[in-house]
A and B are shown apart, each in its own frame.
Chain A
Amino acid sequence: SQQGEEDPQALSIQEGENATMNCSYKTSINNLQWYRQNSGRGLVHLILIRSNEREKHSGRLRVTLDTSKKSSSLLITASRAADTASYFCATDARAAGNKLTFGGGTRVLVKP
């Protein structure tokens, strides 16, 4: 079963706009990560946020974590056509044997 569930499943925006996607999970976690997957490629690690952190930034990426709501969001600011990809959250939880559990992903299309 999936620990993380992304929302929305798909997102279409214009270049320059911000893209926000959410991840909800079911059990307490050690940390949560976001990955990007370009079409036909493997996943690329973007950012990790620990359970005791609330917000983290990396370049144009901003991740928040609300452990009381068991949810996280990924914000991509000033999107570019190159940001077109699928984005996955992955949780590391003791209930899952401290192995990563991935959600189904959000497909993002950034139109030029």
Chain B
Amino acid sequence: DAGITQSPRHKVTETGTPVTLRCHQTENHRYMYWYRQDPGHGLRLIHYSYGVKDTDKGEVSDGYSVSRSKTEDFLLTLESATSSQTSVYFCAISESRERINEQFFGPGTRLTVL
């Protein structure tokens, strides 16, 4: 497995609370991504980063924010969690612009919002 860890691996929280998920990589890859996976939708891109402090929105970014202050860490924050954000969240990395779409995935975080 590529050196990607996600924390926490499981979380149960209540509607309206803030939640931060962390992705940590040891590969020194430039690009990092956050996806959510829901039945019937496959993986959908939430936000991505193309360098430290450089981030952009994906397909389903509403209700989420991200930060990347170091190459190795990419944080996903739900400012006020809603039940519709119950999902499995995956972080992914890719090495370079030339290999931008050969992505390596972390193990996922299962988030339940009650």
Binding site for B on A (CB under 8 A): 2, 4, 30-31, 33, 35, 40-45, 48, 88, 90, 92, 98-105
Given contacts A41-B108, A42-B90, A42-B107, contact A102 B101 (CB under 8 A): no
Binding site for A on B (CB under 8 A): 4, 35, 40-45, 48, 58-59, 90, 92, 100-108
Do the beta carbons of B45 and A105 come within 8 Å of each other?
A: no
Contacts of A35 on B, CB cut-off 8 Å? 105
Number of inter-chain CB pairs below 8 Å: 54
Do the beta carbons of A98 and B41 come within 8 Å of each other?
A: no
Do the beta carbons of B105 and A43 come within 8 Å of each other?
A: yes
Do the beta carbons of A104 and B40 come within 8 Å of each other?
A: yes
* Minimum distance in angstroms from A28 CB to a CB of chain B: 15
* Minimum distance in angstroms from B71 CB to a CB of chain A: 20
* Minimum distance in angstroms from B51 CB to a CB of chain A: 15
- In angstroms, Cα B60 to Cα A99, docked, is 13
Given contacts A41-B107, A42-B108, A43-B90, contact A102 B42 (CB under 8 A): yes
Do the beta carbons of B41 and A100 come within 8 Å of each other?
A: no
Do the beta carbons of A48 and B101 come within 8 Å of each other?
A: yes
Q: List 15 A-B contacts (CB under 8 A).
A: A30-B101, A40-B108, A42-B106, A43-B43, A43-B90, A43-B105, A44-B105, A45-B102, A45-B104, A88-B42, A90-B101, A99-B101, A101-B59, A102-B35, A103-B42
- In angstroms, Cα B59 to Cα A100, docked, is 11
Contacts of B40 on A, CB cut-off 8 Å? 104
Task: Pick from A98, A100, A103: contact of B103, CB below 8 A.
Answer: A100
- In angstroms, Cα B42 to Cα A101, docked, is 9
Instruction: Supply 18 further A-B pairs (C-beta < 8 A) apart from A43-B105, A100-B103.
Output: A2-B41, A2-B42, A4-B42, A35-B105, A42-B4, A42-B106, A42-B108, A43-B43, A43-B92, A48-B102, A98-B100, A98-B101, A99-B45, A99-B101, A102-B35, A103-B42, A104-B40, A104-B42
